[in-house]
A and B are shown apart, each in its own frame.
Chain A
Amino acid sequence: MTRDSNLELEPLGASGNESEKTILKSAAEDSPGARARAAVTARVLAEAAAQRRRTFERGAAVAGLVLAVAAALALVQRRVPEPTVTLAAEPRTSAAPSARAPSPPPSASGASPFAPCAPAVAGSGQIPLIDDFEDGDAHAPMVDNRAGQWITFNDGTGTQTPKAGVLLTAARIPGGRGASHFALHNFGSRFTKWGAVLSLELNPRHCYDASAYGGLEFWARGRGELRLMVKMNQVMAEEFGGGCAHDCYDGHFKTIKLTRDFTHVVVRWNELKQMGYGTPLNFDPHSIDAIDFGVRPEQTPFDFWIDDVSFSPR
Chain B
Amino acid sequence: MPAHKSDSAEALASHAALRRLMDAHFDFVWRSLRRLGLLDADADDGTQEVFLVASRKLSQIAAGSERQFLFATAVRVASTRRRSVKRRREEPLLGLDEQERSEPGPERLTEMSFARRELQQILDGMDLDQRAAFILFELEELTVPEIANTLGVPVGTISSRLRAAREHFQASLRRREARDTFRKARP
Contacts and interface: CB of A to CB of B under 8 A. Distances in A.
A143 B8 contact: yes
Main SS at interface, chain A: helix
B26 A144 contact: no
What interface size band does chain B fall in?
35 or more
Nearest to A44: B51
B115 A26 contact: yes
Contact of A30 (B34, B51, B118): B34
Interface in B1-59: 1, 4-5, 7-9, 11-12, 14-15, 18-19, 22, 26-27, 30-31, 34-35, 40, 43-44, 47-48, 51-52, 55-56
Given A23-B118, A45-B19, A124 B8 contact: yes
A141 B52 CA distance: 15
Contact of A45 (B9, B18, B40, B56): B18
A122 B159 CA distance: 57
Given A36-B44, A39-B44, A145-B8, A51 B55 contact: yes
A300 B173 CA distance: 65
Contacts of B11: 52, 56, 141-143
Nearest to A19: B173
A24 B122 CA distance: 11
A4 B143 contact: yes
A48 interface: yes
Contacts of A7: 144, 159, 162
Interface stretch (B60-68, B70-78, B97-105, B134-142): B134-142
18 contacts: A4-B145, A7-B162, A12-B169, A23-B122, A25-B112, A26-B119, A29-B112, A30-B35, A32-B30, A36-B30, A45-B22, A47-B55, A49-B15, A123-B8, A126-B5, A126-B8, A141-B12, A142-B15
Interface of B: 1, 4-5, 7-9, 11-12, 14-15, 18-19, 22, 26-27, 30-31, 34-35, 40, 43-44, 47-48, 51-52, 55-56, 111-113, 115-116, 118-119, 122, 137-139, 141, 143-145, 155, 159, 162, 166, 169-170, 173, 177
